[in-house]
Structure 1
Amino acid sequence: MKNWIVAFRLRTLPLALASIGMGAFLAGASGNFDALVFGLCALTTIFLQVLSNLANDYGDSIHGADSTERQGPSRAVQSGAITKAQMKRAILIFVLLSLASGIALIYVAFGWMSFNFNLFLGIGALAILAAITYTAGYKPYGYAGLGDISVLIFFGFVAVMGSAFLYEQSLNWNYLLPAISVGFFSVAVLNVNNIRDIESDEKAGKRSIPVRLGRDAAVRYHWFLLFSGFAAALVYVALNYVAVTQFLFVLSLPLLLVNARAVHSKRNAAELDPFLKQMALSTLLFVVLFGLGSLL
């Protein structure tokens, strides 16, 4: 069980919950929050995130990114703690769990077999496919350097605007800026991971953004993600200003600066690794502060 808990990579869950949390806060500020929808949304998000982590463990092991030369934490399949066959079965289980939870979610939100039901069923299927094919499959898109755009789409636009749609049942384009904030911060988490693994990824043929750009340019890219994500939130509040409490999220800025400085200065993988979790938790804190500021 300990090996499976490690393979689930629970430290990635705050980031996934931050994404759907932003949608819930936005809906709450408009008076459309629903506790049951939120609970099912959170459960579905957790299943999808664990599915993605297991598929990533399996995919990187069979494609060579999780080799003995990798400097980050060892993975379950690569280390032999979990066999490939066991991991494939676990992936299937979490596909089924994600489907079951997702169908229950969209049924509660929209009823049975409506247009919105079918639309979100399709989006859910794409989310499952994206989770699996990031590093698994014949031509994983993560090895082509497309992981960043996928994270922006699914952790930003789909998670924030899609989850808000579940409550409000209408598409609010005004939420695009908060979605960009969470999306860019989520990409920043992936960027820390890819900077940490830049050497082993390059040897394995994984053409992540840091591998393509080089470390120095990847650090500048990281600054861009953090600055742009924070700026998007400022613009959103400026356009929708009601009270000064809406700027409560500014209190998260020091943590973002700490992360940016660490990515710039820490070149050892072991020293950089804790800042994956730090960036994920900083994103969650940003969302909580942003949401509370909107509700107060």
Structure 2
Amino acid sequence: MAASSQRKKSTSPKRTPNRTSGNPARRPVVEAGPVTVRDWIGAARLRTLPLAVAPVLIGTGAARSTGPEFHWVIALACLAVAVLLQIGVNFANDYSDGIRGTDAQRVGPARLTASGRVPAKRVLAVGLVFFALAAIAGLAIVIRTGQWWMLAVGAVCIAAAWFYTGGKRPYGYYGLGEVFVFVFFGLVATLGTTWVQIFDLPQQAWVGAIAAGLFACAVLLANNLRDIDQDRAVGKRTLSVLIGRRATQVLYTVFVLVPFGLSSFLALLFPIAWLALLALLAALPAIAIVWSYRKAQELVIALGLTSLAALLYAGVLFWAFVG
């Protein structure tokens, strides 16, 4: 009888609690099929790339407005820095939010780290590669222009990109994300692009920089509004969590519409800037979604439309400045 009991004990499957670590870096990779190129492209968050292109367009147009010469090599290098840095930020966020467990219940597209399909260190390595490529492009600009002090600006940009969600006290978790996005994806990106081409900062560059920064903040607000319930649950104190849903909707609307007031001001000097109002064809539906959405997934569309509006707006300003 004892021997029979022993056999039964040894052949019975061992049951273990179904626990999932809050840190994907410490859990086994989930077998959900091979990770494809499409998965990596999705993690790069292509919807946000117009926000990297827009300030370079505006800054280059502002530089061209002061003289007859195009600085194409420098402009393309600025574009490379902006795009590579944006992609690096996106992978760094995937890694940092993933290992904290704050992406575990996301509404938007799945993340590589949080899903457990890719080891966290590999996602981090990819992000660091893009940061390094952005640094190399930035170094080329510095060498070409002789503006060595801008090495410090580049270092601050990379540090700001990392500490948005990385480090022990990421500022994106304390309601400061929009401030830094405005500064770095608006002012620094636009004015930096203009400066390295003409070593001057005309009025139109400043106005365009403010507009680019506001669009970038609007996209971040749409993203944080989508994730507001999940962020609140995991203790991620974004600006949307701090001020609430309704105030976020109001602020988003302000951020989207103010650039069109600024373009009307620019139109007094550059008449083609009136055509920037055409970007309202993308901006107004985005605003409508933000105010009337029923499911958080709908805000993904608003986010994409806002990015598109920013790109259209920047393209028109470029045309206005160089025309």
Q: TM-score, normalising length from structure 1?
A: 0.92
Change (3 A) 1:267 1:127: farther
**1:20 aligned partner:** 56
Counting aligned pairs with the same residue, the percent is 35
Structure 1 residue 123 displacement after superposition: 0.7
Letter in 1 for 2:288: R
**1:209 aligned partner:** 239
Q: 1:153-209, CA deviations, whole angstroms, 9 ceiling, x for partnerless residues?
A: 011110111110011112334522111111101100101000000001111111111
Letter in 2 for 1:143: Y
Q: 1:22-61, CA deviations, whole angstroms, 9 ceiling, x for partnerless residues?
A: 1011112222431100111111111101110011101111
Unmatched segments (≥5 aa) in structure 1: none
**1:190 aligned partner:** 220
Structure 1 runs of 4+ off > 4 angstroms?
A: none
CA–CA distance in 2 between the matches of 1:72 and 1:88?
Answer: 20
Task: Report SS of the residue matched to 2:166.
Answer: coil
Say if 2:285 and 2:302, in contact at 8 Å, map to a contact too.
no
Task: Report SS of the residue matched to 2:283.
Answer: helix
Unmatched segments (≥5 aa) in structure 2: 1-36
**2:103 maps to which of 58, 66, 71:** 66
**1:164 aligned partner:** 194
**1:283 aligned partner:** 310
Structure 1 residue 293 displacement after superposition: 2.3
Say if 1:58 and 1:84, in contact at 8 Å, map to a contact too.
yes
**1:95 maps to which of 117, 128, 131:** 131
CA RMSD of aligned residues (A): 1.5
Letter in 1 for 2:102: A
CA–CA distance in 1 between the matches of 2:172 and 2:320?
Answer: 36
Change (3 A) 1:122 1:267: farther
**1:254 aligned partner:** 281
Say if 1:249 and 1:293, in contact at 8 Å, map to a contact too.
no
Aligned ranges 1:32-51 → 2 under 5 Å: 32-51=69-88
Q: How many residues align?
A: 286
Task: Report SS of the residue matched to 1:273.
Answer: helix
**2:13 aligned partner:** none
CA–CA distance in 1 between the matches of 2:308 and 2:40?
Answer: 22
Task: Report SS of the residue matched to 1:66.
Answer: coil
Task: Specify the structure having the higher radius of gyration (Cα).
Answer: 2
Does 2:263 align with 1:236? no
